[in-house]
Amino acid sequence: LGDLSRASRARDAITEMDLPAARKILEGADLSDGALAVEESRLRLFQGDYDAAQALLARPDLASTEEGAELSYIALGCARGMAATVLVRDAERGVDVRLQDDDDRALVPMLAEVAVKVRAQLIKDLGVELPMPLRIDLVRDQFTLAAMTGLPEEAARTTGTVAVAKWGRVTMISPRATSRGYPWLDTLAHEMTHLALSRGTRDRAPLWLQEGVAKREETRWRPPQPLD
């Protein structure tokens, strides 16, 4: 219950990753209003302010709702997973990378370089421009990946999931954390496509379309290779 019209407008802006517009809609909002408080917490989650999102969602009136409980679980997982992490910011290329392991710092320039190429390709192919900065969280294991995205850990292990695009960011397992690595730069392109489709369709694209387009786009940023 609450100001559902204002909350709906804020949610649409957040889903479209237009965070400045969402902030403007929620500016001065009375957060005793449950609907507006949920969207404020969602905005904080998209902005990477996980502690603030969790603090707001800990309120009994929000925690007792299905949506509030779901967001609270995600915010808590993100706050724990990203505690004491290293933030590497490439302002010139519009990429923010949070690292659970500082040894992954050497991967950041490659991530940023590919992100620029993928962003340009998505504008050309889909007509969707991803906002800056692109947020990437690089984690150590599937347990953290699941906790930060809401994907059940059992499903992550069964399917071999190594990355998820949700909550306005890409969360990836470090290629250094897998025994034989994985095509992590193509995976970044795949997940960025999911973000672009969510932004362009307000997350209404069916799964088959999401996966089909993402599979196509994951190699579009680079020259073809024999095994593509």
Top pLDDT among 71 and 154 is at 71
For the cut 90, the answer to whether the pLDDT of residue 181 exceeds it is: no
pLDDT bin (cut points 50, 70, 90) of residue 152 is confident
pLDDT bin (cut points 50, 70, 90) of residue 163 is very high
How large is the average pLDDT for residues 154-162?
78
Q: What is the pLDDT of residues 46-92, one digit of tens each?
A: 999 999 999 999 999 999 999 999 999 999 999 999 998 999 999 99
* DSSP code string of 166-217: ETTEEEEE-GGGSSS---HHHHHHHHHHHHHHHHHHTT-S-HHHHHHHHHHH
pLDDT bin (cut points 50, 70, 90) of residue 139 is very high
Q: What is the pLDDT of residues 17-41, one digit of tens each?
A: 999 999 999 999 999 999 999 999 9
**Residue 64 has what DSSP assignment?**
T
pLDDT bin (cut points 50, 70, 90) of residue 227 is confident
The three-class DSSP label of residue 73 is helix
Average pLDDT of every residue of the chain: 93
Q: Are 84 and 55 in contact (CB under 8 A)?
A: no
Structure tokens at 29: 């909002």
- pLDDT of res. 116: 97
Give the whole-angstrom CA distance, residue 136 versus residue 139.
Answer: 10
- pLDDT of res. 1: 65
- pLDDT of res. 97: 97
User: Does 133 sit behind a cis peptide bond, omega within 30 degrees of 0 on the bond before it?
Assistant: yes
Close Cβ partners of 166 (under 8 Å, ≥ 6 residues apart): 149, 150
What letter represents residue 139's amino acid?
A: V
Of the chain, the end-to-end C-alpha distance in Å amounts to: 50
